[in-house]
Amino acid sequence: MADYRLHCFGESGNSYKAALMLELSGCDWAPLWVPFFEGATRTAEWREGLNRMGEAPVLVHGQRVLTQSGVILDYLAEETGKFAGRDADEKREIWRWILFDNHKFTSYFATLRFMLAMKKMPESPVTEFLRGRVIDAYKVVEKQLTVTDWLTGDRPTIADLSLSGYVFYDEDVGLDRWAMFPAIDAWRDRLKALPGWKGPWDLMPMK
């Protein structure tokens, strides 16, 4: 049995953050497919046994069961020593970007993608609002990446892995993201150049 087991599914960018960290860190890990669209995370078994929040990913390491991608990334950084903060100040800066990611950079895009590309919902005031929020969040990251190669400076950290969760999915959400945000696109190329990098569909199972 693998040292780390990640409950995940290929469509989930939040799962991809954890999967990519495991892969880049050279961990002995295995993906366990979650039938999310069949309602697996809404069952009593899932909520009582794995994650009461009803979400994926879930990382199992020995007796530990960890949820929330940011917590999983932080735990793996501590366990492996890879992509971690070098001191207290850098750790705080990493968490600043992870919190921004979860609140804005990932959340708005993931919701827009789910509505338009996965549920095939029509355009509405809600999707227009979300698209505007996506653009605003991407502008913040674009500005940072015109100054530094990586979000916290001169090397990749779990902050970069967190924000990378949905930048390798290319469904149409009414935005030409890479034409609009060339610094983010160049950062994507730097991520792809990391030894061991793989895309979401190479790391996680689909039905």
Mean pLDDT over 2-31 rounds to: 97
pLDDT in tens, 134-150: 999 999 999 999 999 99
Mean pLDDT over 57-83 rounds to: 98
The answer to whether the 4-83+196-203 and 88-192 domains have the same CATH topology is no
Q: β-strand 29-33 against 4-8: which pairing, if any?
A: parallel
Task: Reply yes or no on domain 88-192 having CATH 3.30.160.270.
Answer: no
Structure tokens at 21: 């960290």
Which pLDDT score is estimated for 207? 66
Structure tokens at 29: 């890990």
Contact 161, 200 (CB under 8 A): no
Q: What is the reported pTM?
A: 0.95
Mean pLDDT over 15-31 rounds to: 98
Task: Reply yes or no on domain 4-83+196-203 having CATH 3.10.440.10.
Answer: no
* Per-domain residue ranges of the chain: 4-83+196-203, 88-192
Structure tokens at 84: 């971690």
